[in-house]
Amino acid sequence: MNSVGEACTELKREYDQCFNRWFAEKFLKGESAGDPCGQLFKQYQICVQKAIKEKDIPIEGLEFMGPSKGKTENSS
């Protein structure tokens, strides 16, 4: 799947490959220490945020961008 911004697609692929490799080769074998893909994720996140801003995509109320500030206690 491509990224929201065409310029971010390659960064997404690099991050996905890194994460999948870490998950299969380390995490599933009990080695959960460290964050080998963190820098790639940060680069990808910055790229996506820029693309969202450039495309003027409304993001209010979307929880994936961070904790929901308007969440009620009864929400699941």
Give the pLDDT confidence of 29-76 residue by residue, as tens digits: 999 888 899 999 999 999 998 988 888 877 776 555 444 444 444 444
Q: Whole-prediction pTM value? A: 0.68
Q: Is residue 60 part of a domain?
A: no
CA atoms of 12 and 28, how far apart (whole Å): 22
CA distances from 38 to 15, 55, 69 (A): 9, 26, 25
pLDDT at residue 39, rounded to an integer: 95
Quick one: average pLDDT of 7-34?
92
What residues make up the domain containing 16?
6-55
Number of domains into which the chain is organized? 1
| Residue 68 lies inside a defined structural domain of this protein | no
Residue 61 pLDDT: 61
